[in-house]
Amino acid sequence: MRMKKKVGLLLGMGLIVWVVMSLSSIVFAQKELVVSSSQQRIDYANGILFYEGKVKATWEDLLLLSDEMEVYLTKDNDLKEIIAKGNVSITQGNKKRQATGQMATYTGEDNKLIIQGNAHYHDELGNDLLAEKITVWIGMEKLEAEGTPVQATYALGSLREEEEVGSQGEKSQ
């Protein structure tokens, strides 16, 4: 009789743990878009959020600043697209990358950022890019610049020198 109670208790506890773990994975899968602005309007029926005046938004490791912003959601309430207009500034925190322009479009499906209108991009390596339009594929470490002229300044050799210094230090230890 005691054995049946112990087995039943263990099965019950196992079921509770499984349910809690399942629910926690759903909660942890959610991502937050945090936006502050002077004014905002929400169209729940169409999944569109409008923001005006000193807009500041954070999405994953991106910080977006602009005069106006529109956020489009999918039917499943996931982020589809962010369109920022006017004095746009974007900072990718973990990579220390910065971009500015007159308009920026971020698409959630392909994790792509398009900066337009006097677009400027600067990264953690010291590379600098000026163009009319710059497309950055965030997860792929890839970008493309368009417009006439495209002006690029690359910090060559600095990464190699840092690697050599680091590897020499490791050898001497």
Q: How far is CA 113 from the centre of its chain?
A: 9
Reported pTM? 0.72
- C-alpha separations of 10 from 15, 18, 20, 21 in Å: 9, 12, 15, 16
Looking at per-residue pLDDT, the higher value among 104 and 126 belongs to 104
Tell me which residue range forms the domain holding 80: 33-158
Position 11 scores a pLDDT of: 56
Q: Model confidence over 34-75: pLDDT tens digits? A: 999 999 999 999 999 999 999 999 988 899 999 999 999 999
Q: Number of folded domains in the chain?
A: 1
* 40 located within any domain: yes
Q: How many CB atoms are closer than 10 A to CB 25? A: 9
* 45 located within any domain: yes
* 163 located within any domain: no
* 71 located within any domain: yes
Among 52, 72, 130, CA closest to 98: 130
Report the CATH number at residue 126: 2.60.450.10
